[in-house]
Amino acid sequence: MADPLSQEEFTSSLTRIVSHLQNRHTDLSHLPVLPTSSSISDAISSLPPTLPAQGLGTSETISYLLSSLLPGVLQAQNGPRYFGFVVGGVTPAAQLADILAGSYDENVQVTLSEETISTAVEQRALEMVLDLIDIPRNTFMGRTITTGATGSNILGLACARDYLYAHSPHLPTGYSYAQDGPPSSPTLPSPPIIILSLHPHFSIAKAASLVGLGSSSTIIHQLPAAEDDELAFDLSALEARLKVEKEVGRGVIVVYGAGEVNTGGFGSGLGDVARLSKQYGAWLHVDAAFGGFAGLMPELAPYTKDMDKADSLTLDGHKWLQVPYDCGIFYTRHVSSLTNVFQPPSASAPAYLSAGKPSAGVEANDGATVFPEGTVQAREVTSPLYVGAENSRRFRALPLIASMISLGKEGYRDIIVRNITFARRIATFISQSPYYELLNPTPPSFQVDAVIPSNIVLFRSTSSSPFSPDDPTSSARLVKAINGSRKMYVSGTKWRGVGAVRIAVSNWRTGVEGEGDWEIVKDVLENVGKGEEVKWEG
């Protein structure tokens, strides 16, 4: 029997949740980042060993979640001193909109313009993201919201695969891998498509595997970097390789990372890479999940300004856009490649599903209003199931558009500038401390006078600390000691084969005046560096 929830019981349970969320919103800046070890073990022990024959009902289940399960999860991953991975916070507007999205529970997969505006909301949110980074809307008319950067990279490589096979000199013009499968032409090079990159994120290898390109070193090639910039392509080497591959008729995907996730660094020359890719018929995929919005800080704008020249572009919503997990963003200038992969032939398309058709520069019905070029009208939005991997998907666009409307461009600029400024303050402290060594490289070609490039602080301990760098376990022990304070959280990583510690400042709350984040971070790093144990006082 279904849970026989009365209106009174629902209201009571909702009131408890609202009260919990209100308290959490007020206290988030002061909560411990991690749960205690006993909270974790108690929460695990509380899990029912099997599915109960008789359910608890809604009220008791909510009580169980609040009192037994939630104390065992990360207490403040969206708080101001969680510096692991690259994790944004959740703006108030995004959080509340996400609650509404779950409440309405719409499956945003089909354009039904006379029944719901959900797909139109998604289009406008995607257009606003382009507005935010100063890319004309008509640059990328193929667009969709995904589960994250990995999902977007999968779409990018799938589109590239389709486009490169369709334009291969060894195959009939317009050959469709998506519809006809792997080709068997005897003249096709082996492998038929390769990926050229510098420091590709692991998600690129995962995407290459999933779309059938392969992920071994015979497929994904790491090219040499420029002599004066380890994050920039050696353009001569890139051009030489593109020329060779064009002569044999091999398809090439050039993957350019806008922002290096370990160091926060930005390479130069994206415009030149785009020019060479176009000249030699390669597909340029820009993975800007980490650094795509850094250009909102004016001094970093030169390093992101040529993203509009990509064939496909990955961005991330749950990083610097500060919306809840999960939210990725994908763009391509080649709409047909996107629909060729994800839209079935018209003869086999479900008759009850509408495809829609994107267009630009459309006049309103009365002829009086001309929409901005690249703006899509509600009735012309391509159904999301025909431009992405999912047939069922939640209303991810609602928290995204809510956050963007609430903050505007200047609000987002303030967050990014504040995050980078805060990270540079930490980096300055690290560089002056006898207990730590700052590892962020700043190549000569980086034209910004700053201690680190952006919002990532990469460091390790020195021999003056209890975590001797001669001990291969020192970085792991240092991470454990910092995180053991429960006052802040950092990630362990490796840089140039050596263990390191990484701080990523990506949360809208971090560094807000009056919250004392800097003093807390400084106190933890200073005392841990001396070998003193720092414990949560609460």
pLDDT at residue 355, as a whole number: 52
For 145-160, the pLDDT digits (tens) are 999 999 999 999 999 9
Of 118-127, 165-174, 446-455, the least confident: 446-455
Residue 194 and residue 32: Cα distance in Å, rounded?
A: 46
Q: Output 123 or 350, whichever has higher pLDDT.
A: 123
Whether the CB-CB separation of 162 and 341 falls below 8 Å is answered with yes
Fold type of domain 140-340: Aspartate Aminotransferase; domain 2 (3.40.640)
Between residues 471 and 446, which one has the greater pLDDT? 471
Distance CA 340, CA 333 (A): 14
Q: Residue 330 carries which DSSP code?
A: E
Give the residues across from 283 on adjacent strands.
Answer: 253
| Residue 42: pLDDT band with limits 50, 70, 90 | very high
d(CA 155, CA 163): 12
Q: Which residue has the tokens 């073990």?
A: 41
More confident residue, 448 or 216: 216
Q: What is the pLDDT of residue 367?
A: 44
pLDDT at 313: 98
At 362 the pLDDT is: 40
Confidence of residue 357 (pLDDT cuts 50, 70, 90): low
Distance CA 55, CA 61 (A): 9
The three-state (H, E, C) secondary structure of 410-462, written as one string: HHHHHHHHHHHHHHHHHHHHHHHCCCEEECCCCCCCCCCCCCCCCCEEEEEEC
Q: pLDDT higher for 346 or 54?
A: 54
Question: Distance (Å, rounded) from C-alpha 90 to C-alpha 256?
Answer: 28
Q: What pLDDT digit, counting tens, does each position of 364-375 carry?
A: 444 444 456 889
Phi, psi of 443 (to 5 degrees): -65, 155
Q: In the chain, what are the domain boundaries?
A: 12-48+73-106+412-538, 140-340
Gyration radius (Cα) of the chain, Å: 25
Residue 353 has a pLDDT of 64
As a whole number of angstroms, the distance between CA 447 and CA 191 comes to: 39
Has residue 361 got a pLDDT over 50? Answer: no
pLDDT tens figures, 379-410: 899 999 999 999 999 999 999 999 999 999 99
- The encoded tokens of residue 331 equal 């763009």
pLDDT of residue 405: 98
Predicted confidence (pLDDT) per residue in 244-270, tens digit: 999 999 999 999 999 999 999 999 999
For the segment 498-518, what is each residue's pLDDT rounded down to a tens digit?
999 999 999 999 999 877 999
pTM (whole model) above 0.85: yes
Average pLDDT for residues 45-74, to the nearest whole number? Answer: 96
Please report which confidence band the pLDDT of residue 11 belongs to, taking 50, 70 and 90 as the band edges.
Answer: very high
Q: Which tokens hold the place of 225?
A: 């970097």
Q: Which CATH number fits domain 12-48+73-106+412-538: 3.90.1150.170, 1.20.120.640, 3.30.9.10, 2.40.30.60?
A: 3.90.1150.170
Q: Give the pLDDT score at 366.
A: 44
- Asked if residue 475 lies in contact with residue 460, where contact means CB atoms within 8 angstroms, the answer is yes
| Residue 104 pLDDT class (50, 70, 90 cuts) | very high
Question: What integer pLDDT is reported at residue 371 of this predicted model?
Answer: 55
Residue-by-residue DSSP string for 211-248: TTS--STTTEEEPPEETTEEEEE-HHHHHHHHHHHHHH
Question: Is residue 356 scored above 70 in pLDDT?
Answer: no
Report the range of poorest mean pLDDT among 78-82, 297-301, 397-401, 439-443.
439-443
User: Average pLDDT over the chain, rounded to whole?
Assistant: 93
Cβ pair 240, 427 in contact under 8 A: no
